[in-house]
Amino acid sequence: MEKRSGVFLVKTNWWYIERMVWLIAGTLVLASSVLAAVHNPNWVFLILFTALCSICVALTGFCIVGNVLYWCGVQPLAPGKKTLQNGKWGRVYFMQTDEWFLERYIYVFVGVNLSIASLLARFYHPGWLYFTGFVGTATITFAFTGFCIMANLLYRLGAEPKMCRFI
């Protein structure tokens, strides 16, 4: 990967599946972080479930929430070959997984970091919920503005994006 300069932003001119998934996942992580902090620490297991789903999306392309949105008529920005076959839309949504691109790296990094932080918050110290809350907030910000700290770091390190524009 070669180093780059500039700012990486995802497309925000329409609501596509991947963007809506970021919004839903970020809201779920942020709400679960708050609930785990003020109500019951077992809410971290919802954060862990979200994290494991994120890793699953990166590795397989299959996303539970993405499929519900797909069945509701929302279009994907980066459909996989299993979703779009010979110019026809399939019955199930899969994110593109034929190569490793920046957005797939984000799914892995977010999933691994949230998995570790949620387990640390539950079994070591609840202060780790600040980190999970930050990740949830950053994911919501990413969905609305197209700007993500992790995406920009990976972009500058040379990861190739699929859903982007540059400033």
Q: What is the pLDDT of residue 94?
A: 85
- Cβ-contact 162, 99 below 8 angstroms: no
Whether 1 has a pLDDT exceeding 70, the answer reads no
Residue 92 has phi, psi (to 5 degrees) of -125, 140
Residue 3 pLDDT grade (very low, low, confident, very high; cuts 50, 70, 90): low
pTM of the full predicted structure? 0.87
* pLDDT tens per residue, range 90-145: 888 888 888 888 888 889 999 999 999 999 999 999 999 999 999 999 999 999 99
Residue 164 has phi, psi (to 5 degrees) of -140, 170
CA distance 8 to 46: 30
98-127 per-residue burial string, b: 16 or more CB within 10 A, e: under 16:
eeebbbbbbbebbbebbbebbbbbbeeeee
Indicate the SS3 state at residue 57: helix
* pLDDT tens per residue, range 4-35: 667 778 778 888 888 899 999 999 999 999 99
**Over residues 133-160, mean pLDDT:** 87
Tokens of 63: 């996303």
**Hey, where are the domains in the chain?**
15-145
